Structure 1
Amino acid sequence: MKKTVLLFVAFSLFIACKKEETIGDANLHITGNVKGIKQGKLYIQMLQDSTLVVVDSIIFDGKSEFESHLKIDSPEMLYLFLDRGQSNSLDNNLVVFAEPGNLSIDTSLETFYANAVVKGSKNHDLFQDFLKINSRFTNEQLVLLEKEIKAKQENNQSRLDSIKVANEKLIKRKYLYTINFALNQKEHEVSPYVALSEIHDAQLKYLDTIHNSMSPKVADSKYGKMLTKFIQERRKIEQ
């Protein structure tokens, strides 16, 4: 019995020490609140080699507040997934552009993604601004798609031709907006991120312009290095 108690105490101390080491090594402190949640689990994930990896998990058991200590080399996206248990919802995923320092996430069980308020990251604020404008292009594309379907049903070729021209112009506007956004935010890591995620198939000269405009700090970040590598690989393929 004494041995069992001693082993338990030793194991508890080991876990406590490991946790202190983890917290001591962390440079990102996340605090949050999911209003209305009683039970469930929150997974915090990072993208590593094209795979989402869980870096922390929080169990909710009566309290809605949560806290996490992580280490990130530079600003990067975190992918939060809320496991509600038996209740189903499409609003379970939240993407946060985290930066080293203190980050707060205030949201609710009913609208986990829709009404989430994230504070403490300039890159996240900028990315949200980008998404607001980018969503307008998406909405315009949906309108054109509806028109295209109708024109096909009516077998109206002239209408289809005009829709095609309109869609090409829309795509060009969307790409130009993204390029300008990336250039204007050259001091922030969101610049190479949107280049990689939104316009990776743009002409190399545009990606080169974004790449060459990045500040040394951004160029040395996770997404800055990824953009450099991506451009080098594309150049080899296209030569």
Structure 2
Amino acid sequence: MKRLSLLTLLILTVSCAKQPALTVKTNIKGLKKGTVYLKKVKDTALITVDSIQINGNAEFELHSDLESPEVFYLFLNKNTNEDDAIAFFADKGITEINTTLKNFVFDAKIKGSVQQAKWEEYQKMISKLNSRNLDLIKEKFEAQMESDTSKISAIDNEYNGLLKRKYLFTVNFAINNKDSEVSPYLALTEIYNARINFLDTINNSLTPKVKASKYGKQLQDFIDEIKEADKNN
């Protein structure tokens, strides 16, 4: 009887063990050896929350605690540049990432949270503006090499108009998705240097749930800091 009680206690202990809030199931086609890191931003620094050494098996899992939806980064080996990482918006549960070793970032297919789907929707719609922005940078450089002041002025005007369109589009997108944690995230990362009334408009539109999220709290703090700084100037 005593042995049965101990066994029962052991089973209960194991079953009650804390399960990770986030599981990232990953398959990197072509990867034989290497180290994969799961990272996120904490206090403005990029930290590693989990990692795994790969030796022959390209399918694996990474895990993390998670209080509210936020952006994570999947790094291969010791890359420290976010441009070389797969960024994804995760919520509690399972996120699946399938990609290739050859085109680690560009081949990434991500299936998981509703926030990820909403973020991809924004990225798809804003990509044309970003692409034109890159074209303008190239055109301005060429105009400067030729000392073509009239062309430089025209490019600057188009750039300013493009920037305004991006801000307005992002504000409208955030307001229309006030019930998604993607909304305050976009305010903090895409238009953080916009006029304070734009940020206020987004912040005031957020649902209570989103306001209480990680990015909702950060947006409120960011706005409070700006207003406080303006009062002291």
Short-chain TM bin: 0.7 to 0.9
**3-state SS, counterpart of residue 66 of structure 2:** coil
1:183–1:213 contact (8 Å) kept in structure 2:
yes
Deviations 1:190-232 (A, max 9, x none): 1000100010111111111100111111100000000000000
Question: By how many angstroms is 1:22 displaced?
Answer: 11
Residues 1:53 and 2:47 aligned together: yes
Q: 2:193 aligns with which of 183, 198, 201?
A: 201
d(CA) in 1 for partners of 2:205, 2:137:
36
Deviations 1:56-113 (A, max 9, x none): 001111111111232100001111110189xxxx984111111011211111211211
**3-state SS, counterpart of residue 24 of structure 1:** coil
d(CA) in 2 for partners of 1:181, 1:133:
10
Question: By how many angstroms is 1:143 displaced?
Answer: 1.9
What is residue 6 of structure 2 aligned with on the other side?
none
Deviations 1:149-197 (A, max 9, x none): 2332333222222222111111100111111111111111010001000
Question: By how many angstroms is 1:131 displaced?
Answer: 1.7
Q: 2:148 aligns with which of 130, 133, 156?
A: 156
What is residue 226 of structure 1 aligned with on the other side?
218
d(CA) in 2 for partners of 1:150, 1:38:
44
- Cα 1:23–1:42 shift into 2, 3 Å: farther
- Cα 1:92–1:231 shift into 2, 3 Å: closer
Normalising by structure 2, what TM-score?
0.86
Q: 2:65 aligns with which of 39, 54, 71?
A: 71
Question: By how many angstroms is 1:134 displaced?
Answer: 2.3
Count of residue pairs the alignment pairs up: 216
Q: 2:184 aligns with which of 186, 192, 216?
A: 192
1:40–1:84 contact (8 Å) kept in structure 2:
no
Deviations 1:22-67 (A, max 9, x none): 9724221221211111111100011111111111001111111111
Report the more deviating stretch, 28-37 or 194-203: 28-37
What is residue 211 of structure 1 aligned with on the other side?
203
d(CA) in 1 for partners of 2:151, 2:210:
45
Report the more deviating stretch, 147-156 or 48-57: 147-156
Q: 1:101 aligns with which of 62, 73, 93?
A: 93
Task: Structure 1: give runs of 5+ residues left out of the alignment.
Answer: 1-19
1:91–1:111 contact (8 Å) kept in structure 2:
no
Report the more deviating stretch, 73-82 or 145-154: 145-154
**3-state SS, counterpart of residue 57 of structure 1:** strand
Residues 1:139 and 2:126 aligned together: no
- Cα 1:159–1:68 shift into 2, 3 Å: closer
d(CA) in 2 for partners of 1:121, 1:204:
30
Counterpart of 1:156, as a letter, is: D
Question: By how many angstroms is 1:138 displaced?
Answer: 2.0
Structural mapping, 1:11-26, within 5 Å: 24-26=18-20
**3-state SS, counterpart of residue 104 of structure 1:** strand
Task: Structure 2: give runs of 5+ residues left out of the alignment.
Answer: 1-13
> Which of structure 1's runs of 4+ aligned residues deviate more than 6 A?
20-23
What is residue 10 of structure 1 aligned with on the other side?
none
d(CA) in 2 for partners of 1:63, 1:54:
21
- What is the percent sequence identity of the aligned residues? 39
- Cα 1:23–1:210 shift into 2, 3 Å: farther
